[in-house]
Amino acid sequence: MRASSTLCCSTSSVGRKEPRASSSRRLSAARCERHHKTRICASSSSSSSAYDYIVVGSGIGGLTAAAMLSYHGNSVLVLESHYETGGAAHGFTRRVKKKRDEIDTSQKSKKGDENESKDDDEDDDTNESLEFVFDTGPSFFAGLTTPNALNPLASVLEVLGEPLETVKYDPLGTFHIEKGVPGLRRHADLDLLCEEIERFSEGGAKEVRLAVPKIRDMFEALSGLPTIALRTDWRILLVIGKRYLEKMSKLGKYGGVLGQPTNALLDFLDVRDPWVKYLCDLECFLLSGMDASGTVSAEFASVFGASDYFKKSEFPVGGGKAISDALVRAIEKRGGEIRVNAHVKEVALNDKKDEAIGVRMRMDPEVVIKAKKGVLSNASVWDTYEKLLPKDAKISAQEYQKNTTIDCSDSFMHIHLGIKADGLDFSHLGGHHVVVNDKSKPLDAPGNVCMISIATVWSPEMAPDGHHCVHCYTMEPYDGWTELKATDRKAYEEKKKEKCDVLFKALETVIPDVRSRVVLELLASPASHEKWLRRYRGTYGAVIPAPKMFPGPAVKGVKNLYRVGDSVAPGVGVPAAAGSGVICANTLTSLEDHFKFLDKCDEK
């Protein structure tokens, strides 16, 4: 789904430095080196080890928090159960063998999951094989290199000395909503978007044009208090009073609507055209997994306003994994430690069971790796409360039930493909597409909305010359998949193939002969998503419909235990997950150091 905002390719310009031709090979080498180092660390826990903070999980929220805490001089240990960092935003590599000048089609993976085995780190002769680098999760990005109020990653990575290389482009993507009609090109610039909407609804385009000045003013108002300034203790009042009070003054006139569902915002903007409202439902669904009746207005206004402000979307060179790699470098160069293949059994508590003092590992549960200042869980809200917290923790029954009964969205079917690129021209089509199969069905109906990401449109080094990487995914309920995989593998493979056919049909909207181009095929189910992305029930994220709010980082009842990630405020998506890490780290940082960090951000 959407990670930050958008993508596509009509005009392209490279942010930062020129892309490096050997990025994918270098990613594999770096992966090997880190695996070797961290495997040793993961097996050498000691009761004498003590860190200021321990972070359980290395998703974007956990890595952002760890990087910022390291920046502020804390000793940090990150423990990741996967063999890769990045959580839902990690990447993986697959190779397929050549047969003379053709691909050996016997190597096509017709039954394997996306990550059925670890990445191939063997020394394959690159003259004998083709290597493809895939993203596993987020595919739509914006605001990664231009410091802005709403996506904290640009500012954070600049200050940490790890700015990203990105390709900038427009439009965001093509939305194929109506059958037999060229799709809507989802431009970032709202004026250009209105021209596109006019092809489908003249009245709707008129309404949106009238709303554009309000959307831009609302975005400016929301920008008055940037994510990098937020914290959850009383000191936020001092931060606002000293730096942002005047800039926040514009928020007053929108205060009554920003916390409400997006439907209320559309009423406020006098947007009532049915076609435009359907488009807004689709945009909300891509953002949060909910339509306009559940997605909070502030998120919708922020994304529309931000994309219009940037006029471009961005794709990180090397794929989404480049974001987690940058955060990993920021942690390690300041003395932080990251251990993969490191399975945490539970949070260790003091004798009173009301304070986190470290963690216990599954391989040696009698040993406590100590955290002097706190433990941060980047696991989901369900896994934190049901698995990481000991049963005797001083959590009230009400608090436990409130957190463990939060709803979650469905999971996904995925296909990852390596395809021949002969004759394909994406200069107009772009690399991101959303295909709606039936407007009369709910957006979250299984197989109804298919998301397509062809990363090599912007980062061609992710595939061999003459090839593209394709990632396509759609919603699918979780129930039954894990049991079927465990009890009847043949039936599981057949069902996976059957369910993924809708994704191939969606791809045929963009590449009619895609099936004949396939040289590498990987199919994945909700069971795959759960296992390889370490996601509770393979979910996209927590479903907390507005006006309800996502919870803050503190775990009530247990001192020095905090949560970060997409089941914590601000919510779902890469900017929100990174924001949760920023907010938590700020809260744990002195006001003086927080102000110094904000000064550094201003300098950038």
Residue 271 corresponds to which tokens in the numbers above? Answer: 């947007």
216 burial via Cβ count (<10 Å: 0-12, 13-18, 19+): middle
Q: At what angle do helices 60-71 and 321-332 cross, to 10 degrees?
A: 30
Q: Fill in the amino acid letter for 379.
A: A
**Same domain flag for 506 and 435:** yes
**Same domain flag for 403 and 438:** no
- Distance CA(555)–CA(551), nearest Å, equals 9
Last residue of a domain, one of 263, 292, 310: 310
User: For residue 199, is it within any domain?
Assistant: yes
Output the pLDDT for position 512.
95
Last residue of a domain, one of 539, 560, 578: 539
Which residues on neighbouring strands pair with residue 11, listed in sequence order?
170
Instruction: Give, in order, the Cα–Cα distances in Å from 517 to each of 71, 421, 463, 468, 511.
Output: 47, 8, 14, 10, 9
Residue 322 corresponds to which tokens in the numbers above? Answer: 């480049």
Range of the domain at 222: 186-226+234-310
Output the pLDDT for position 124.
41
**Same domain flag for 387 and 488:** no
**Same domain flag for 555 and 590:** yes
Q: What is the total count of domains within the chain?
A: 3
Output the pLDDT for position 519.
95
User: For residue 598, is it within any domain?
Assistant: yes
Q: Residue 244, SS3?
A: helix
**Same domain flag for 442 and 504:** yes
Output the pLDDT for position 7.
27
Provide the phi-psi class of 41: left if phi over 0, else alpha when psi is between -120 and 50, else beta: alpha
Print burial letters for 502-541: b (CB count within 10 Å at least 16), e (below 16).
bbbebbebbbeebeebbbbbbbbbbbbbbbbbbbbbbbbb
User: For residue 41, is it within any domain?
Assistant: no
- Distance CA(138)–CA(494), nearest Å, equals 27
Last residue of a domain, one of 255, 290, 310: 310
User: For residue 71, is it within any domain?
Assistant: yes
User: For residue 251, is it within any domain?
Assistant: yes
- Distance CA(402)–CA(384), nearest Å, equals 13
**Same domain flag for 516 and 396:** no
**Same domain flag for 529 and 426:** yes
User: For residue 45, is it within any domain?
Assistant: no
- CATH number of the domain at 329, please: 3.50.50.60
Which tens digit of pLDDT belongs to each residue from 256-307?
898 899 999 999 999 999 999 999 999 999 988 899 999 999 889 988 888 8
Instruction: Give, in order, the Cα–Cα distances in Å from 273 to each of 79, 197, 206, 267, 489.
Output: 49, 11, 10, 11, 48
The residue length of the chain stands at 604
User: Nearest-CA neighbor of 143 among 573, 591, 593, 603?
Assistant: 573
Which tens digit of pLDDT belongs to each residue from 383-412?
999 999 999 999 999 999 999 999 999 999
Print burial letters for 369-394: b (CB count within 10 Å at least 16), e (below 16).
bbbeebbbbbbbbbbbbeebbeeebb
β-strands 364-377, 561-563 pairing: parallel
Instruction: Write a three-state SS string for 402-461.
Output: HHHCCEECCEEEEEEEEEECCCCCHHHHCCEEEEECCCCCCCCCCCCEEEEECHHHCCHH
**Same domain flag for 529 and 416:** yes
**Same domain flag for 400 and 547:** yes
Alpha helices in 445-567 (DSSP H): 481-487, 489-510, 514-517, 526-532
Output the pLDDT for position 254.
87
- Distance CA(198)–CA(215), nearest Å, equals 19
User: For residue 462, is it within any domain?
Assistant: yes
> In the chain, what's the furthest Cα-to-Cα distance?
69
Q: With contact defined as beta carbons under 8 Å apart, do 268 and 215 qualify?
A: no
Output the pLDDT for position 335.
94
Number of Cβ within 10 Å of residue 127's Cβ equals 6
Which residues of the chain have a pLDDT value below 50?
Answer: 3-47, 103-111, 114-126
**Same domain flag for 394 and 457:** no
User: For residue 181, is it within any domain?
Assistant: no
- Distance CA(397)–CA(385), nearest Å, equals 11
**Same domain flag for 522 and 475:** yes
Rounded to 5°, angle at Cα 358 from 354 and 364: 120
Output the pLDDT for position 111.
44
**Same domain flag for 584 and 569:** yes
